[in-house]
């Protein structure tokens, strides 16, 4: 059978090599290669989807020996938790390449870095070997560092430096935890499937490994108080960088929380599930309040990410605490769906803020007013995405958050205070929409052009998916549910 | 075959290196420096080739005074090619200078001393190896005969003689207690805790100086800056790895009751942290890399604390040594081409993207970012330390990687800024750019190859 996971995984590397080989090619050709490669990647992931997954195990596993003396192999495969994220990654990268076709500054390096990031992202979600996972996890940092440092806004050097140091510090404890799990397993192996089937550590060793992993994934997700790198990185990153950072890279944290922390040290997680829940709830509320205090649109969207990712952390904690498998499945279904929804919705919002920034060279809410008169398509797109972000029924976040809250109600009703976050986000988005798109029209923006073809191509698929998932989430939930009901721990 | 002939046949690589060194000197006397270079390269390549059939051997020769084992064989496989790369760098930097051929000869002599050191099974061979490699290194540092080089060599000399003296003095206690100079008799020291401790301090001093471990590192930054850049790169790799391997040879035979593992762990912590903290304050890239090499020496010690306890200890030392040799020589080669002040790196990554990418690769590998060689080595080192019960040391080493990244980003960040106005030319240091490019290209291949296909080394060690 064709190793479609590996082909999809390494297609971007091939594209990157091609771009490097064509050093004299004009920008259009380079961007064309980027778009073509990511289209092929999307087709590859759709093929994976068509092949389907089996419940209770990893499907389409491809494996070759890498360092047999250590028990490390190249192992990739998918299940109902990773496949939706792989699909999300492929969609977001394709749209980001379309959006970035305007980049004229060093296009070769830009496309190469994006393609490397795409391989790193798909690799992180499909790796079934802990060492391989770590490799992809770290490579993504390097690519993102250079994207922020090379194509960001005014204060990009400092922000990129902070991002790199902070997230490297964040990811290193994971290495310790992986080593701990490796040294603890009976057979020396880095096979994640073996670790999931038979958690190698127990007692205080498992607790230490869990704490190390929680630290790593809390930085990445991010969870209060380890979120401080996020606003800085987002504000300085180019719009495409922000989309990928929020849409894809934050998911590494949430995905790792399930794949590593929950599945490999389940008992320890159950023990401190309450603590994680409190952090998740607090983080969600904190993110909402902090977003409320922002006047810069990009910063505001960045903080709403903290809010939305907080729901995911809370959902995973509920899944750890739940003794009833049905509740656990509901909580995890909601959490995984929330990752996809957040990727789509926040991706759309960052694109839109980037488009506004391209036109006005400012992101200060107070500088705008009445834009709906000049840029109605941009305005309505923003309103749709914002409504999705605040959890309006019928749009992508609703089915996800609903399930998380449902499980919370059954398991830890006090934590439902987190719903307050929805009210706050509703308030802040309405305020932003009112300030930017309604009210008195300012003449200085009178000539602002509405969405061009490239931008419509970028946004339309996202908005469509947001509506589809909102109205009919079953096709996605079914895939997720197949795996979450059969998890054993 | 008599024992003597058999022993000698196992030392062919060492013998070839010695003949190579002497032969290079003869060519210099005939005023044929290019022939000296070619001879040296050929001789070292031959010695590398002669090592290959010995792989897997684990025997003592000459009554246990020299060891043919994993460490000493891999020392040859790593240090001989590293010396060949250094010869090319030296040629690029010093071609046409007075007494050029002596540099090639001295490099071979120092490497000979390093090989003795890495394979020593006897305290007197430790002393011999340290002295052999120190004497040649001194002459190499002083080679430019200007004020900076002379001062550097002077500091180096004072350090070498004091630490050498301390080492010999302390080793007499071990000899007195055990009645033998063989390392294999160190087990008898258990009855003499005081003598064991004094000897231990002495060995740490002598080898710590050679490996530029904190707190015996003070000579290194000055010596590297005063010496030609190619020599600095060589000194940061070959004698250092040899001293680390020698330390491993000693600790293999020392009983755990002497508490050596804790002392080594303390030195490791000090070197790692101090090296990178100091590197953060440097404006000269050579000094920055000098402090970085002090920190890297600390990382090596994570493998030594696990000697005799964890099966990962030997693979981790060998893997990291190979990785370190490739990435550090590569970084020095690019400094040799680009210039030694941080300003000369401004815009380099934009003007010459491939060279910039290579430098970034070396520096990220030095941090330990996967999937590069430095990560493979450090990962094994962390695993070895944890396996030996030194989780706190592994944790410190891991957290310290952030300091490492901060230090190396001081070079990477300016590389991708627009070039400074006063710094138009990037080609002011290139006597023969092709040689330098060849060296860093080889280093890139090894740095990538070891990271991705490290299994080759691992299975060869088993």
Give the residues across from A65 on adjacent strands: A73
Contact B386 A134 (CB under 8 A): no
Please write down the HEC assignment for all residues of B89-105.
Answer: HHHHHHCCCCCHHHHHH
Interface of A with B (CB under 8 A): 65-70, 106, 109, 131, 134-135, 138-139, 141-142, 146, 149-150, 157, 161, 164-165, 168-169, 172-173, 175-176, 179-180, 182-183
Contact B413 A161 (CB under 8 A): yes
- pLDDT for A443-455, tens place per residue? 888 888 888 888 9
Burial B149-159 (b: 16+ CB within 10 A, else e): bebbbbbbbeb
Q: Which residues of A touch B405 (CB under 8 A)?
A: 164-165, 168
Residue B423 has pLDDT above 80, yes or no: no
- pLDDT for B385-413, tens place per residue? 988 989 899 989 988 999 999 999 999 98
Give the residues across from A62 on adjacent strands: A76
Radius of gyration of chain B (CA): 21
Nearest to A241 by CA among A92, A389, A31: A92
Q: Which residues of B touch A169 (CB under 8 A)?
A: 399, 402
Instruction: Classify residue B284 as exposed, middle or buried by CB count within 10 Å of its CB (0-12, 13-18, 19+).
Output: middle
B-chain residue closest to A105, CA distance: B350
Query: Computed from CA positions of residues A449, A452, A456, A459, in that sequence, does the dihedral angle turn out positive or negative?
Result: negative
The continuous run of DSSP H or E covering A61 comes out as strand A59-67
B-chain residue closest to A167, CA distance: B402
Interface residue of B371, B394, B418 to substitute, partner A, most A CBs within 10 Å: B371
Give me the count of residues in chain A: 489
Residue B117 has pLDDT above 60, yes or no: yes
- pLDDT for A160-182, tens place per residue? 888 899 888 988 899 999 999 99
- pLDDT for A71-126, tens place per residue? 888 999 999 899 999 999 999 999 999 999 888 888 888 999 999 999 999 999 99
pLDDT for position B432? 67
Domains in chain B: boundaries: 1-253, 259-462
Whether B122 and B174 have beta carbons less than 8 Å apart is answered as no
Who wins on pLDDT, B154 or B430? B154
pLDDT for position A93? 95
CA gap B16, B46 in Å, rounded: 8
Interface residue of A24, A70, A154 to substitute, partner B, most B CBs within 10 Å: A70
pTM (2 d.p.): 0.91
Residue B426 has pLDDT above 70, yes or no: no
pLDDT for position B43? 96
Mean pLDDT of A467-477: 91
Contact B401 A179 (CB under 8 A): no
Q: How many CB pairs under 8 A join A and B?
A: 74
A-chain residue closest to B371, CA distance: A135
Q: Write down the number of H helices and E strands in chain A.
A: 21, 2
Nearest to B90 by CA among B345, B445, B439, B338: B439
Complex ipTM: 0.86
CA gap A363, A370 in Å, rounded: 15
pLDDT for position B257? 73
Task: Grade residue B340 by pLDDT with cuts at 50, 70 and 90.
Answer: confident
Mean residue pLDDT across chain B? 90
Q: Pinpoint the alpha helices (H) of A293-324.
A: 297-321
pLDDT for position B1? 61
Q: Dihedrals φ, ψ of A375, to 5°?
A: -130, 70
Mean pLDDT of A266-290: 92
Mean pLDDT of A386-405: 91
Contact A172 B399 (CB under 8 A): yes
Whether B350 and B418 have beta carbons less than 8 Å apart is answered as yes
Q: Identify which of A66, A106, A176 has the shortest CB distance to residue B395.
A: A176
Q: Pinpoint the alpha helices (H) of A322-375.
A: 325-360
Task: Grade residue B44 by pLDDT with cuts at 50, 70 and 90.
Answer: very high
Residue A135 has pLDDT above 70, yes or no: yes
For residue A179, what are the contacts with CB-CB under 8 A and spacing of at least 6?
B379, B382, B383, B386, B394
Instruction: Classify residue A448 as exposed, middle or buried by CB count within 10 Å of its CB (0-12, 13-18, 19+).
Output: middle
pLDDT for position B431? 54
Contact A142 B364 (CB under 8 A): yes
Contact A168 B401 (CB under 8 A): yes
CA distance, residue A471 to nearest chain B CA (Å): 42
Radius of gyration of chain A (CA): 21
Give the residues across from B61 on adjacent strands: B66
Task: Grade residue B425 by pLDDT with cuts at 50, 70 and 90.
Answer: very low
Residue A231 has pLDDT above 50, yes or no: yes
Strands B66-68 and A72-78: unpaired
CA distance, residue A274 to nearest chain B CA (Å): 27
pLDDT for position A234? 87
Interface residue of B272, B357, B381, B402 to substitute, partner A, most A CBs within 10 Å: B402
């Amino acid at each position: 059978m064709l190793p479609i996971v590996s082909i999809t995984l390494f297609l971007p590397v091939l594209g990157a090599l091609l771009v490097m080989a064509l050093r004299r090619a004009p920008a259009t050709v380079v961007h064309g290669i980027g778009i073509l490669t990511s289209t092929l990647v999307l087709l590859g992931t759709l093929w994976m989807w068509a092949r389907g997954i089996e419940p209770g195990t990893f499907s389409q596993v491809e494996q070759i020996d890498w360092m047999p003396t250590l028990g490390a192999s190249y192992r990739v495969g998918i299940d109902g938790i990773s496949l939706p994220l792989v699909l999300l990654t492929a969609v977001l990268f394709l749209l980001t390449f379309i959006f970035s076709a305007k980049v004229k500054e060093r296009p070769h390096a830009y496309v190469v870095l994006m393609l490397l990031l795409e391989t790193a992202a798909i690799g992180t979600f499909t790796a079934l070997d802990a060492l391989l996972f770590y490799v992809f996890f770290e490579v993504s940092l390097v690519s993102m560092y250079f994207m922020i440092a090379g194509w960001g806004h005014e204060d990009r050097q400092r922000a990129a430096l902070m991002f790199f140091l902070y997230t490297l510090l964040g990811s290193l404890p994971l290495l310790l935890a992986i080593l701990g799990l490796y040294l603890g397993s009976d057979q020396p192996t880095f096979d994640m499937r073996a670790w999931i089937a038979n958690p190698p550590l127990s007692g205080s060793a498992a607790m230490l490994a869990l704490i190390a992993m929680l630290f790593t994934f809390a930085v990445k997700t991010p969870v209060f108080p380890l979120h401080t790198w996020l606003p800085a990185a987002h504000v300085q990153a180019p719009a495409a960088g922000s989309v990928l950072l929020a849409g894809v890279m934050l998911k590494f944290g949430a995905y790792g929380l399930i794949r590593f922390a929950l599945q490999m040290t389940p008992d320890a997680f159950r023990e401190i599930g309450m603590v994680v829940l409190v952090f998740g709830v607090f983080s969600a509320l904190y993110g909402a309040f902090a977003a409320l205090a922002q006047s810069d649109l990009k910063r505001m969207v960045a903080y709403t990410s903290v809010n939305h990712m907080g729901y995911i952390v809370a959902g995973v904690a509920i899944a750890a605490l739940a003794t009833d498998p049905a509740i656990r499945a509901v909580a995890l279904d909601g959490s995984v769906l929330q990752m996809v929804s957040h990727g789509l919705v926040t991706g759309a919002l960052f694109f839109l803020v980037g488009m506004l920034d391209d036109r006005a060279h400012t992101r200060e809410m107070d500088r705008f007013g009445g834009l709906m008169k000049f840029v109605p398509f941009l305005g309505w797109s923003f309103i749709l995405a914002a409504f999705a972000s605040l959890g309006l029924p019928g749009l992508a976040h609703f089915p996800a958050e609903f399930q998380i809250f449902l499980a919370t109600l059954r398991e830890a009703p006090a934590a439902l205070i987190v719903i307050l976050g929805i009210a706050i986000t509703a308030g802040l988005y309405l305020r932003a929409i009112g300030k930017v798109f309604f009210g008195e029209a300012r003449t200085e923006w009178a000539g602002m052009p509405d969405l061009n073809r490239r931008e419509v191509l970028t946004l339309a698929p996202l908005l469509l998916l947001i509506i589809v998932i909102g109205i009919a989430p079953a096709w996605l939930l079914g895939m997720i549910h197949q795996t979450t009901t059969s998890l054993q721990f | 075959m008599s024992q003597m002939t058999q022993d000698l046949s196992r030392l062919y690589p060492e013998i070839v290196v010695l003949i190579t060194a002497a032969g290079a000197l003869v060519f210099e006397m005939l005023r044929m420096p290019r022939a000296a270079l070619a001879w040296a390269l050929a001789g070292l390549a031959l010695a590398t080739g002669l090592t290959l059939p010995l792989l897997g051997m684990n025997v003592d020769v000459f009554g246990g005074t020299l060891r043919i084992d994993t460490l000493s064989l891999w020392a040859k496989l790593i240090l001989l090619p590293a010396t060949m790369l250094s010869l090319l760098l030296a040629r690029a930097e010093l071609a046409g200078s007075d007494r050029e051929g002596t540099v090639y000869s001295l490099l071979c002599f120092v490497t000979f001393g390093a090989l003795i050191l890495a394979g020593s099974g006897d305290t007197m061979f430790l002393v011999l190896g340290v002295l052999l490699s120190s004497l040649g290194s001194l002459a190499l540092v002083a080679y430019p005969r200007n004020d900076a080089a002379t001062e550097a060599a002077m500091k180096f000399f004072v350090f070498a003689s004091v630490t050498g003296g301390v080492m010999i003095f302390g080793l007499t206690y071990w000899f007195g207690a055990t009645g033998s100079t063989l390392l294999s008799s160190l087990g008898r020291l258990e009855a003499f805790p005081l003598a064991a401790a004094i000897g231990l301090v002495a060995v740490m001093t002598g080898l710590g100086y050679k490996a530029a471990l904190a707190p015996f590192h003070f000579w290194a930054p000055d010596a590297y800056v005063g010496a030609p850049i190619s020599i600095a790169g060589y000194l940061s790799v070959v004698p250092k790895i040899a001293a680390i391997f020698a330390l491993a040879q000693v600790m293999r035979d020392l009983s755990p009751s002497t508490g050596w593992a804790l002392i080594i762990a303390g030195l490791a912590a000090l070197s790692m942290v101090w090296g990178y903290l100091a590197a953060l304050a440097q404006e000269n890239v050579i000094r920055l890399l000098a402090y970085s090499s002090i920190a890297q020496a600390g990382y090596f010690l994570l493998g030594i604390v696990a000697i005799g306890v964890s099966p990962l200890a030997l693979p981790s030392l060998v893997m990291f040594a190979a990785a370190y040799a490739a990435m550090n020589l590569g970084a020095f080669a690019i400094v040799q081409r680009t210039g030694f002040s941080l300003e000369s790196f401004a815009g380099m990554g934009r003007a010459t993207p491939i060279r910039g990418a290579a430098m970034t690769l070396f520096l990220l590998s030095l941090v330990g970012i996967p999937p590069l060689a430095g990560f493979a080595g450090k990962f094994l080192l962390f695993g070895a330390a944890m396996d030996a019960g030194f989780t706190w040391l592994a944790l410190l080493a891991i957290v310290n990687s952030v300091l490492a990244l901060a230090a190396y980003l001081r070079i990477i960040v300016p590389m991708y800024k627009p070039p400074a106005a006063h710094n138009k030319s990037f080609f002011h240091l290139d006597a023969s750019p092709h040689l330098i490019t060849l060296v860093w290209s080889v280093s890139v291949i090894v740095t990538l190859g070891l990271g991705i296909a490290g299994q080759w080394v691992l299975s060869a060690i088993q």
